[in-house]
Structure 1
C-alpha cells in the first residue's frame, strides 16, 4: 500500500479505526485489516476502487449496506457499516481468523469428503439470505472463508448495494452492469440481465464446487470477455469425466451449472438438502485431475467402497412393487461372460459408490427365455448388495429417448456402452449364457465403456436346467465378493433358490412379468402381467417375491385398463398376507418390502409401514423404492419436512427420474414454500418433455393448482385434458379434480354433471355388481350434497328411502354395501337411531373383514371419527369430543374432517371460542393434501364461522371468504351467500 493512499485512508477513517495492514483486493475494492478503536476488535475494511466509487450514489450505497447488515446467520459474515469521507467509500465487516477458499485451492484440489461440508455450509448461508430477499451475486472462493471447521460467506448484499447505487447515480437501470467475477458468473449475469435472482448464486456455487474438486472452474480464459461468452454459450465438461465422483454428487453439482435457471436447483435450501443426502453414502478421495477428453477415463487403481443400489420403475405403481427395479440393481455388478482366457480375476471395487448399467445378457441357447432370466435373477440377487448402484430402467429409458431410440429397445452390450459414454456411467455389466452338451455356462464381466476392456469376470456351470438357478446365485455372490463385499456377510445369506424359487418355470413367469411391468417388452399389459404372476405362484406356492408383487399389483392398481373391483382387492390382500407369512424366506430388503406392503394394504397401519421402509433405507440408503414410499407415507402422515428431505435425496440420487421431483413440490407446499414449489414445477416442465412425462405432469399440475386454490385454472386445464384424453382411469382422475373445483365454488350442478358422466362410463364397463352399486346411486348423492352444502335435510330423508327401496342394498353382501356413506346419510337426515344401527353393522363387519374393501380395521381413526359423528347426531357432544381429541394428532391423513368435527362438538357444548379456534384451522389450512376434503369442509366451516363472528374483522374474514368462494354458486346456495353479505354489513 502506498504511503500516500494509507495516509489518505487513515485521514478518512479518523479516530474510529486504526489501519494495521493491507490484506489484498480484487477488481472492485482494496482490503485492509484494521482495529475498531472503541471496541478493541479486528475488522476488515473494504475500500471501493476510485473508478467504481465515482459512479456510485453514496447515500444509496450506505442504505443498502445497512439493510444487508441485518442479515444474521452462523455461516454469514455480517456487514457492520458503510462510510464515506475524503472521496473514499468503504464498508466494514468482522475479521475472520482462517483462510479463504481461494488460498486453500492454491494448495491443490480437495477431496469430496472435505468439499461436501463446505458446500453444505455455503448453501445453507445462501438459503438464509435468499429467504430475506438478498442475492449475493458474487459467490467465489475469495468470498468463502474457512473458520473453525466451517465455511462462512462474506460480502452478502454488497453486489446489490453497488448495482442499486450505480442505478441511482446514473438514472439508468442496471441492465448491462455485470457485477461479479467472470469465472463464477451465471449466464444471466454475464448477459447483463437485470432480473438476476437467487438461482445465480446456485450457479456460482456450482462453479466453486467444480473448481474445488478439479482444480479449475468450469471455464477459464485470460480474456474476461471470452469467459463471459463461454458462460452464456458453452456447456462445461461433465465433472465425472475429470474426477471420479459418486453419481449423485456429480449430478448435484452439474444441476447447479445448467444454463437455464429453471433447470437448476429451485432453491439453495433444496441444494443443501441434496448435498446432505451425500452423507448417507460412503465418501471418496478423488484422483488428481486428468486431461479433459471426450471419453470417460477408467481409473487404473483398485477401488473398495460400497455401491448403493437405487431401484426404479416406470410409474408409481411399479415403484411400489419393487421386483423389477430390484432386478435392475443386481446385474450391475454381475460377472460377465466373455470368451477370453480366464486368469486370476482381480478384485474390482469402487473408491466410492458408482453407477453401472446392465446390458441384456447374450443368450446362446435354444431357450429364448434364459437370457432375460439370467439378467433379472442376477439383478434381484445383487439388489441386496450395498456396493452397487445400477442405472435404473427409468434412467435408461430417458437416455434412449435422448438418443432418439425406442425405449423398449433391447440394451445390447454395444448399446449399453453407448449409453454409458453419453451418461457418464463408468462400468457396463455384460453377460452371456450358453449350453455345451447338457451343461450350462453362465459368465459375467465388468467392462469399461470406453474401450470394452474387461475389468473382472466370473463363470459358473450348471449340470442341468434344474441346477441353473443355484449356479446363477453362486455367480452373483462371487461378483459381490469381487466388488469388495464381506465374505462373512455373503456366507451368512440363504441360497438364492430359497430367497426366490427353486422352480425354473416359476422364475420364467416371474421374469416375464417383471419385464412387462417395466415396459421392457414394449407391451405393458397389466392383465397379462398379473396372469403371469398368478402362474408363477401356482408353480411354487412358496415364491414369496411373486406373492408380494402380485398382491401390490392387485391392491394398488394393475394398470389403466384393468378395472378396480372389491374381489380384486380381496385377492390382492390375500396375496400380500401370503408374502408376509413367507417373509423369513426373503432377503432383508425384500422382507422389508413385504412387511411394508402388509402394513400398508392389509393392516392400514401407516406408522408401521413407515418404520418398515425406514429399515430398508437404513440397510440400503440408495433404495429408491423405500425412499419413494417413505415420501408417500410422510405426505400421508403430514410430515412435510420429511417429504421435502426425501425428495431432495431422491433427486440427488437420480435427477433424471421423473418420480423423484414431485416430492420436492409436495414438500415445499407442505412447509409453506409456495415459491419453491412453483420453481420446481417450472423446472420439471423444462426437464421432462416426453409425451408420457407431459401427460403425468399435466395430471399433477391439476393437483398443484388445486393446492393453490386456483379453481378457474383447474377448470381450464381439466377441460383441455378431457378434450384429448380417452383412457377411462385417467379421465376418472381428471374428472374428480374438476368436480372438486366446481364444488369449491358452490357449483354443485356442474359437479354432478361430471359425476354422471363418470357413472355412465363405468356402468358400461364395471366388472362387478359392487361397482355398479357404488356408481349407481347418483340420486342419493345429490340429496346428500344438498343437505351438506345447503342444509336441505328433508330431501335427504326421502332420498335415502328411495335408494334403499330401489337398490336392494340391504340384500348385498355386507362387504359390498356402501356402509360408510349410509351412516353419513342417516346423520345428515337427522336420524340418529338409523345412523347408530348402520354404524353398528359397519363396525361389526369391519372387525370380521379386517379392513376388506372400503371397511377400515377397527383400530382405524376413520372408524373412531365416524362414531364420534354418530354421537354428535345423538346429542352427545362431550362423548364425541372424548373420541375426537385423542384422535386429532393421529388422524393426520385426514386432518380437515377431524378439525371440523371437533369444532362442531365445541359449538354444541356452547364453547364458542374453542369452536372458532378449531373451525378456523380448517379454513386456514395450507395442507397440500386437502383435495376433496377442502371442498367438503371449508364451506361448512365458513358458514359456522360466519355466524360465530363477533367483530367486524372476523365478519370480513370468514363471511367475506364464503362470499368470494360462492359468488357464482348455484341458485339454491345463494340465500347462504346473501346471509353472509348481511352479516358483513352488520
Structure 2
C-alpha cells in the first residue's frame, strides 16, 4: 500500500472533510488501467489518501531515459490511458491533471493514478479560482498539460479538459517534448490560451497522418472542436491500431497474388519486396540478420546457412535488437532466397528497410579442413558504410565462435574502434554488453547513467582495462566520487591493451601510477599518444584537455589555439565524441570565432538534447547569443535538477569566455546548500570561490573560502 500525505503548501486553507468526500467519490472507479483509491482521512489535521503499491516506473521516468518512445509503445500506452479516461468520465470523474508523472507502467501496461486529486484540492479549498491557479504548486493541473479553460479558471471546465491534456501527453510521447516545449510557466500558460502548437505531422512525419491529426484535434483551444468523449477518442485509436496490424499484411497478400497470377514468381517477388514497402524511417538499434552465405563441402556448414540467423539473433539483447527470424525468412524467401541462391545486396538492403532496421548483417561461413571461419559485415542502411568482424576456430566450437563474433559485432554496432576488437575478444557477451552500454551513454554525456554499467562490466572482468579507462574519465567528468576507482582497474589490466590504448592510458595517469606526474609530463605523454594513435579521438582529447585546463600554467601562450586544434582533430576522428565537442564552443568564442562557436553549440544539442552536453549547449546558445527562449529552457531544465556536472561546465565556460557569471554563481550557490553529498557541496564552494575571485568579489570569495577550508582544507587550491 502507498500512503500519500499532502504537503503543507497543498493542505493550507483546505477543508479536510470536503477533501475526503471528493477523494472517496473517485474511489468508486474500478478499472484495469486505473490505480484505485483505497481510503482517505486525516492525521492531526493533515489530509492523506492511500493507494495500492504498483511495481514498475512512471511514464516520466521512462521518458527521462528514452526521450521518444517507439510508435507502437506510445500507441499502446495512449490507448490504455484513453480507456481509463473513458471509464472515469462515464462515472462522472474528471482527472484534471493527466501527465507522464501520473501514469505508471507495470508489467507492460499503463495505469493512471491520482484520479480526483486535482478536483479534491480545488473543491475543498477556500478562496477564488484565481487564488488556486496562482498559488505555487496548487494549480488545477500542471502547466505543460493544462487545457485553456483550466488556465482561464473556468468553473464549468468538463471532461474535455482531460482530452486536451491527453493531446499534450500524446504530443510529448511522439515528438519528445510537450506542445510548447520547456519554457517558463507563465509563457506556457499564455501559449495554451493563444498559440497554436507546431503541427505534429511536420515534427514527426514518420507517424501515421491519421494519428497526428487526432492529436492536434485534442489540442484545439475550443472544447467543442475536440473529440466529443474519451470513448470516441478510444475508438479512433483502436482504428489506427487495427490499421497498423492489418494494413501491411493486406498489402502483402494483394501484391503477392498479383505477382503469382502473372507467372513471375521469383523475379517479380523481388520487385514486390523492393517496390513500395520500404520505410524511410529506421530504428538505429534494430538489425536485420539475413541467412549466411556458405562455402565448403561439409554438410554441417550448410546447416548453418539459415541456422546462423537463429544462433546470432539469440545473442543480441539489450539496446541492440534483431528483426524476428521468422519474419526475415519469409521476406528473404519471397525476395528469391533459396538453399542455393542468395538475394543481391540491393534487395537485402530493401528487406532491412522494410523492417525499419538501420543495420543489415550479412555473413559468410567457410570451411577448410577442420577449421571454420565466420565473418559478419554490418552494413549501415542509411550511409552504406560497412564494418566487419571475423573469427576462426575448430568446427566443433561453433557456439563459442558465434559468441565471439556477436561480441565483436556488438562493439562495432556501438561505434567501438575496429582496432579494439582483439582486446575485446575474450569478454563474455554479458560483460561486453555492459561496457558498450556505458560507452554509448558516456559519449552522449549521460555520465550518471554510464557509471553503473562500467562497474557491471568490471564486475564481469576485474582486469577489463578499457572499462576502467571509461570509468576513470566518466567519474572525472562528474567531478564526484573516487577518480581512482576506474584508473586502478585500467592500470591493472594495462598489459592487455593495444599500443594505442596503452598510450592513451599513460596520457591520463602517467607511467608510474599511482604516482601522478606533473601536468607538463602528462602533456608530453599525450603528444606521444597522438603520434602512436593519430586516428584515435581519445588520444587527441587527452592532449586537448591538458592544454585547455593547464596550458597557461605550463607557460604556453598559445594553449587555447593548440587545445582547439587537438579537440578539432578528435572531433574529425569521431563527430559523436562528446567529450571533445563540449569544449569547442568556449574555445571558438575565446578566439573570436562566434560563427563556429554557434555551430559547436548546435552540435552539442544534436548529440543528445536532454543530456549534460545538450543542456550545456542549450545554455551556451541561449546565453552567449542572447537567445532568451533557449536560455529560459536551459535554466528551466536546471531548476528541475541539481547537477554538479552541468553547473561546473557553466562555471568553466564563464571563466573562459567572461559570459554567464550570474547563472554560474546562482547554480553553484544552489549546490552549496542543496547538494546531495558533502563532496558535491565542497566542490561547489571551490568553483564559487574561483568565480568570485575572478570577478573581484572579494567579500563573497572570503566567505566561500572560509566554508571551503572547513570542508576541504588545502584541496580548495587544486586547479587554481
Tell me the TM-score normalized by structure 2.
0.39
Structure possessing the higher radius of gyration over alpha carbons: 1
Tell me the TM-score normalized by structure 1.
0.30
Structure of higher RCO (CA pairs closer than 8 Å, 6+ residues apart): 1
